[in-house]
Amino acid sequence: MTATADAAFAAGTLGIDFGTSNSAAGVMLDGAPHLVALEPGARTIPTAVFFDTRGVRPRIGAAANAALLEGEEGRYMRALKSVLGTPLMRENRRILRRNTTFIEIIADFLAETKARAEHALGRRFDRALSGRPVHFHSIDPGRDAQALLDLTECYHMAGFEDVRFMHEPEAAAIAAQRAGGNGGGHGGPNGGATGGPNGGANCGPSGDRHGLGLIVDIGGGTSDFSVFAADPGAAHGIDIIASHGVRVGGTDFDRALSVDHVMPLLGKGSLIRFEMGAGSLPAPVDLFQTLASWEKIPFLYTAQTRRDVERLRRLAAEPEKIARLARVIDIELGHEIAFAVERGKIDANGDAGGAIALGTLERGLAAPLARAGLARSLAPHAARIADGARETLALAGVGPAKIERVIFVGGSSLMEVVRDEMRAMFPCAQFTQSEAFTAVVDGLAIASARPWT
46 has a pLDDT exceeding 60: yes
- Longest C-alpha distance within the chain, in Å? 83
pLDDT at res. 191: 35
Q: Give 398-409 pLDDT, tens digit per residue.
A: 999 999 999 999
Helix (DSSP H) and strand (DSSP E) numbers for the chain: 13, 21
| CATH number of this structure's domain 7-169+442-447 | 3.30.420.40
pLDDT at res. 9: 53
Question: Lowest-confidence range among 137-146, 174-183, 336-345, 437-446?
Answer: 174-183
pLDDT at res. 353: 75
Architecture of the CATH domain 188-433: 2-Layer Sandwich (3.30)
Gap between the Cα atoms of 167 and 170, Å rounded: 5
Residues 47, 81 contacting (CB under 8 angstroms): yes
Nearest C-alpha neighbor of 154 from the set 118, 130, 123: 130
Q: Give 264-299 pLDDT, tens digit per residue.
A: 999 999 999 998 888 999 999 999 999 999 999 999
Q: Grade residue 202 by pLDDT with cuts at 50, 70 and 90.
A: low
Q: Grade residue 196 by pLDDT with cuts at 50, 70 and 90.
A: very low
- The burial of 139, by beta-carbon neighbours within 10 Å (0-12 exposed, 13-18 middle, 19 or more buried), is given as exposed
Q: Give 86-117 pLDDT, tens digit per residue.
A: 999 999 988 777 788 999 999 999 999 999 99
Domains in the chain: boundaries: 7-169+442-447, 188-433
pLDDT at res. 190: 37
Q: Grade residue 232 by pLDDT with cuts at 50, 70 and 90.
A: confident
Average pLDDT, whole number, for the chain?
A: 89
Most confident stretch, 137-141, 180-184, 233-237: 137-141
33 bridge partner residues = 28
pLDDT at res. 108: 94
Gap between the Cα atoms of 116 and 59, Å rounded: 13
pLDDT at res. 381: 97
pLDDT at res. 234: 83
Please report how many Cα atoms fall inside a 13 Å half-sphere around the Cα of residue 364, on the Cβ side: 0
Gap between the Cα atoms of 98 and 100, Å rounded: 6
206 has a pLDDT exceeding 60: no
Cα separation values, 280 from 272, 274, 275, 364, 447, Å: 5, 5, 9, 31, 60
Residue 401, phi-psi category: left (phi > 0), alpha (psi -120 to 50), beta (remainder): alpha
